[in-house]
Structure formats: C-alpha cells, structure tokens
C-alpha cells in the first residue's frame, strides 16, 4: 500500500488514476509521495518515508528542489500538461496588450442608465480606446519550451512575425519554420513590438527584464509575463511604463506595486486554471508517482536523471540507488531483485 499526501486540491480525474494500492488525503501520515500545486514546501519538514514529490504544473519554485535531491527525494513536474491553457491566456494577453479592451469595458459600464442616449455616447466616446492590430507586428518569444513554442506557432497563425530565443532549445521543439530563432537575446529586444517571457524562475533568470534589457527594446514595446513575477524588475518596469518606453505590461503574476498602475493588466495567475489543464497535470503527476514507486522509473524529474527500465516483473522488488557527489546527483541506478 502506498500513501500519497495532497498539499492542494487535486483534480479527481488525476486521483482516479491511483489503483487500489494507493490511499491519498490532505492529512496523510507516513507519505511515500506528495502531490502539490502551488503550496510552498520551502518551510516544510519532510517525513523520512517520503520518496518523491510531484508538482501538478511546470514551475517548481515552490519546492526546495536541490535540498530534496540531496536527501534522495525525486521531484517531478508535468511539462506540457498545462501548456495549451497557458498559451490561450497568453493570446488573450496579447490582444489585451494591444487593444484597450479592459479600460473600454470599464468605461462602457459607466454608461449604464443612459437610456436612449447610450448608443450615441458609445460612438462619441469610443475613440479614446483605439489600439493597434497585431497582424504583421513582431512578437519576441523568450523561452521556446512547451508553452513558448505553442505561443510562437499560434502567433504565426495569427499573422504575426515571430522571433524566438532559447539557449536550451530542444531538438524536439515543434516550431513553425517561419519562426526566426536568434542566439542573442539582444536581437529579440531590438526587433520585437511585443515580448513574451516563458522561462523558469531561477538564479540566472531572476530580474532578467530590467532597466538594461528594457533600454535595448523598441519604444512603446508591450511586455507579457505569464511565467513568474520575479522575472521582471517591478521598479524598472514601473519606470519604463511611466516614461512610455513600455506601453503596456500584462502579467499573470501581479505584485502589490504593479496592481492599479495605468497600462498594467494584472491577472490573478489564471494561466493553467482550466478544468482540462488541471486534469492533465494531475493525471501526469499521478502516473509519475506510480511509475517511480512501483518500478523505480524517473520521467520528468527536475532534480534527478531520467531512469527507465520498464515495469518491474511480478514477484520482484525495486531497489534504487542514487549516486551523488558533494554538489549534485550524478546518476541513479535502479534494479529489480
Ligand atoms: C505552472 O507553473 O505550471 C503554471 O504557472 C501554472 C501553475 O502554477 O499551476
């Protein structure tokens, strides 16, 4: 019997993947595995029994990934499982950044009660909300992983020119041939009317959209951040909005200082909030946990090398040895005995 502790509400369709050999609950003791969405695990004491953590989502900044690797605890994420949901919201963000949809809708509300005059007032007032089309404009996509690649391809389908940057571009990335991939980030900054960021938050990406980066961008650039708050320097983006260097900032990770600022569109981390993506992530996370606990296989781990030796034959047991030097996990060896 395996015990799974749930740190957040997890989709039932995902939990239904567990066989009768599994029990799961939010107050589970002696957990073999943990399933988490956005709860922070940084201050959490892990039980000795816990062998793995699966994040139902892509970002893992709520999990102490390196510390867990040192303890031999495998951390999984679910790359791609919510990519379509995020892509769709990024496309909405692209339109919100271009046309003044939100201020216009807010203004329309103020016309309530105008009776027969309403349509006349609509026609008279609408010119203040004119905004450009995206057709023929250039979108710069920073990070061409599961989400970035979908966004880039969709923008091509919408008639945009797309330029991309990804120092870790996967040979499996399925990119439209019309997307121009640059090896220098400066080229993205110089050539884009719209820039969208799709990279994980880590020490090398924290604050990457800062004063220096913005100074290389086109005047009036529109920036979209559907990845993580700290990728963008609040102070620097506010200054750039004030000067008009950045004409619109759309973020799914609003901080207190950007909420309510003119030309900021702030959404409450809705990227993956669709029933489809919650189901996909939970199903993938459950499958990763089961394959590890039952067979020792490691797929989609962010802190351990991949291991795949198929299913353990009936009557055998899994033995997994994790080899580490002082800093890193260097290999894991799994055997059926
Ligand atoms: C992700 O990291 O997968 C997205 O930001 C959505 C989420 O946090 O659930």
Q: Identify the H or E element spanning 84.
A: helix 83-98
Residue 160 has pLDDT above 90, yes or no: yes
Q: Which two tokens stand for residue 219?
A: 């005047």
Mean pLDDT of 134-162: 98
Question: Looking at the predicted structure, is the pLDDT value of residue 329 above 70?
Answer: no
What domains lie within the chain, and their CATH numbers?
A: 2-80+274-336 (3.40.50.720), 83-266 (3.40.50.720)
pLDDT at 318 > cutoff 80: no
Determine the distance separating the centroid of ligand 1 and the alpha carbon of 108, expressed in angstroms. 33
* Residue 313 pLDDT level (bands cut at 50, 70, 90): confident
Which of 80, 61, 92, 82 has the alpha carbon at shortest distance from 196?
92
How many angstroms does the Cα of residue 207 sit away from the middle of ligand 1? 19
pLDDT of residue 317 exceeding 90, the answer is no
Mean pLDDT of 62-69: 96
Q: Is 82 in the pocket of ligand 1 (CB under 6 A)?
A: yes
Separation CA 263–CA 181 (nearest Å): 29
Residue 229 CA to ligand 1 center (angstroms) comes to: 12
- Residue 113: what pLDDT? 98
Average pLDDT over residues 124-140: 97
- Kindly report the average pLDDT of the chain as a whole number: 95
User: What is the per-residue pLDDT across 182-210, written as a single tens digit (0 to 9) for each?
Assistant: 999 999 999 999 999 999 999 999 999 99
Predicted local confidence at residue 314, as pLDDT: 75
Share of the chain above pLDDT 70, in %: 94
pLDDT of residue 257 exceeding 80, the answer is yes
Residue 243 has pLDDT above 90, yes or no: yes
Local confidence band at 155 (pLDDT 50, 70, 90 cut-offs): very high
Closest atom of ligand 1 relative to the 78 alpha carbon:
3
Ligand 1, atom nearest to 37 Cα: 9
Phi then psi for residue 264, to 5 deg, are -105, 130
The predicted model scores a pTM of 0.90
| Nearest protein CA to atom 9 of ligand 1, as residue | 57
Cβ–ligand 1 contact at 59 (below 6 Å): yes
The residue to mutate among 37, 40, 41, 57, having the most atoms of ligand 1 within 8 angstroms of its beta carbon, is: 57
In the reported structure, the alpha carbon of residue 226 is separated from the centroid of ligand 1 by a whole-number distance in angstroms of: 9
Q: Angle of helix 146-157 relative to helix 83-98, nearest 10 degrees?
A: 50
């Amino acid at each position: 019997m395996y015990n799974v502790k749930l740190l957040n509400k997890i989709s039932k369709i995902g939990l239904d993947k567990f066989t009768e050999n599994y029990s799961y609950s939010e107050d589970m003791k002696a957990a073999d595995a943990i399933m988490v969405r956005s709860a922070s695990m940084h201050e959490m004491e892990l039980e000795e029994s816990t062998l793995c953590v699966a994040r139902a989502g892509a970002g893992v900044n709520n999990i102490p990934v390196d510390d867990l690797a040192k303890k031999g605890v495998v951390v999984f994420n679910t790359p791609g499982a919510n990519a379509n949901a995020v892509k769709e919201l990024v496309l909405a963000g692209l339109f919100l950044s271009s046309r003044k949809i939100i201020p216009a809708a807010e203004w329309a509300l103020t016309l309530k009660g105008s009776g027969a005059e309403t349509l006349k007032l609509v026609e008279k007032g609408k010119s203040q909300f004119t905004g450009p089309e995206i057709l023929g404009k250039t979108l710069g996509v920073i990070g061409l992983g599961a989400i970035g690649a979908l966004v880039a391809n969709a923008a091509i389908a919408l008639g945009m020119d797309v330029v991309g940057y990804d120092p870790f571009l996967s040979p499996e990335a399925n990119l439209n041939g019309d997307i121009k991939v640059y090896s220098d980030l400066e080229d993205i900054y110089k050539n884009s009317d719209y820039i969208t960021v799709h990279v994980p938050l880590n020490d090398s990406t924290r604050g990457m959209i800062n004063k220096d980066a913005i100074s290389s961008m086109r005047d009036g650039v529109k920036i979209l951040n559907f990845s993580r708050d700290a990728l963008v320097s609040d102070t620097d983006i506010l200054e750039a909005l004030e000067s008009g260097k950045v004409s619109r900032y759309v973020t799914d990770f609003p901080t207190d200082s950007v909420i309510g600022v003119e030309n900021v569109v702030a959404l409450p981390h809705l990227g993956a909030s669709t029933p489809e993506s919650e189901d996909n992530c939970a199903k993938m996370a459950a499958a990763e946990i089961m394959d590890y606990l039952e067979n020792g296989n490691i797929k989609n781990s962010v802190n351990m090398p991949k291991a795949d030796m198929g299913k353990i034959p009936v009557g055998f047991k899994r033995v997994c040895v994790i080899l580490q030097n002082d800093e890193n996990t260097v290999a894991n060896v799994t055997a059926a005995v």
